[in-house]
Amino acid sequence: MYAEGTLETQLVLICFWSVLWFLTISYTSKKFIQPWISSKKWKEQWLEMHNTTMKKSYGVDMGANEEVFECCCDFLMVLGQHAFGGVLCLPSVLGFEGPVVWAMACHGALCEAGWEFQDLIKRSYEKTLGNEKQKKQNPAPLLVILGFHHAMGLGMVVPMNIMYGSNAFYHEFVFLLQGAAFVALAAQNYGYTLDVHTRTGLAQMRACVFATFATMLWSRLFRYVFIGYKLTSTFYADGHHAMLYGAGFVLLTMGLLNCLMVADACGKFWKFMFKMNEVEQESLPRRQNSNSTLLCSNAKSERQWAKIYKGVMKEAKKQQ
């Protein structure tokens, strides 16, 4: 429970979290997330925007919508895992200290490493021994991106928990990579459900892209660089050269992935904050919904009544 800083304990805990997430993510996605999203009218838009983001921002093409739908629903459960891991680190980030607080933060890191471990095994099996559908769900660009992502958790969590389990910068780093990621990507997913052709929908979308943009800049760029520097400086000062080299490598791989995430957030921020008027002008004439039809109908009726009124007034003047 206290995430004891021994290799045996750390490996057992990684296996525990791996089994927990393997059983939870797939089952919950199929039984609850997929039916819930299928019942929503915004499902196709949400799915299309996910597909567009993966293709344009990450170069990942997963083929048919069915495969994309399952992966996106699983991704929502992964966001839940990130939220849980981030919450475990929150007491330390807020300045609390003590064995319980440190153990919670170490479990937060193990929570992420456990998910990554089972994801590595699962995708390796699907890519090599799985059926055609499973192979399509694991295209090469996606596996490369996940390799960059998983390198940090699988390579550094166990040694960090053993040697620096009470380090506040380490806990904040884990929080940024999980908790802040949940905030940014949850806002992005909510934005995918909005109708930006309405004033309310556009206002909410702008709030979402701003939240994603600000969170990504802080957690994946500015604070990421600062805490990465603090941790590597600590390794250098302590003479832990193996940790220093390992940290330098995974900071680089995660940093490359961060560049893609920040670029995507910046692109959406620019589009919806500064270019949305142009998009509306192009899209609105082709978009028909109940509100626009009602407005057009009302406007037409008002013009007709105006003509009738003018005609009646003319006849009344003639009779006078």
- Tell whether 296 and 226 lie within a shared domain: no
- Tell whether 300 and 156 lie within a shared domain: no
- Tell whether 297 and 182 lie within a shared domain: no
- Tell whether 149 and 251 lie within a shared domain: yes
Place 310 in a pLDDT band, splitting at 50, 70 and 90.
low
Q: Is residue 49 part of a domain?
A: yes
- Tell whether 153 and 265 lie within a shared domain: yes
List the one residue out of 215, 116, 119, 98 whose CA is nearest residue 156.
116
- Tell whether 70 and 188 lie within a shared domain: yes
- Tell whether 237 and 308 lie within a shared domain: no
**Over the chain, what HEC string results?**
CCCCCCHHHHHHHHHHHHHHHHHHHHHHHHHHHHHHHHCCCCHHHHHHHHHHHHHHHHCCCCCCHHHHHHHHHHHHHHHHHHHHHHHHHHHHHCCCCCHHHHHHHHHHHHHHHHHHHHHHHHHHHHHHHCCHHHHHCCCHHHHHHHHHHHHHHHHHHHHHHHHHCCCHHHHHHHHHHHHHHHHHHHHHHHHCCCCCCCHHHHHHHHHHHHHHHHHHHHHHHHHHHHHHHHHHHHHHHHCCHHHHHHHHHHHHHHHHHHHHHHHHHHHHHHHHHHCHHHHHHHHHHHCCCHHHHHHHHHHHHHHHHHHHHHHHHHHHHHHC
What pTM was estimated for this model as a whole?
0.84
The dihedral over CA atoms of 178, 147, 189, 58, expressed in degrees to the nearest 10, equals 140
- Tell whether 19 and 79 lie within a shared domain: yes
- Tell whether 162 and 185 lie within a shared domain: yes
- Tell whether 167 and 303 lie within a shared domain: no
pLDDT score of 289: 47
Measured between alpha carbons, how far is 83 from 101 in angstroms, rounded to an integer? Answer: 17
Place 240 in a pLDDT band, splitting at 50, 70 and 90.
very high
Q: Is residue 2 part of a domain?
A: no
pLDDT, tens digit, 9 for 90 and up, residues 88-146: 999 999 999 999 999 999 999 999 999 999 999 999 999 999 998 899 889 999 999 99
pLDDT score of 300: 47
Work out the percent of the chain whose per-residue pLDDT is above 90: 78
How much is the mean pLDDT over the chain? 88
Place 307 in a pLDDT band, splitting at 50, 70 and 90.
low
Q: Is residue 319 part of a domain?
A: yes
Q: Is residue 233 part of a domain?
A: yes
Q: How many domains does the chain have?
A: 2
Question: Any idea which of 64-73, 87-96, 201-210, 244-253 has the lowest mean pLDDT?
Answer: 64-73
- Domain, as residue range, for 138: 7-287
| Whether the predicted pLDDT of 184 surpasses 50 | yes
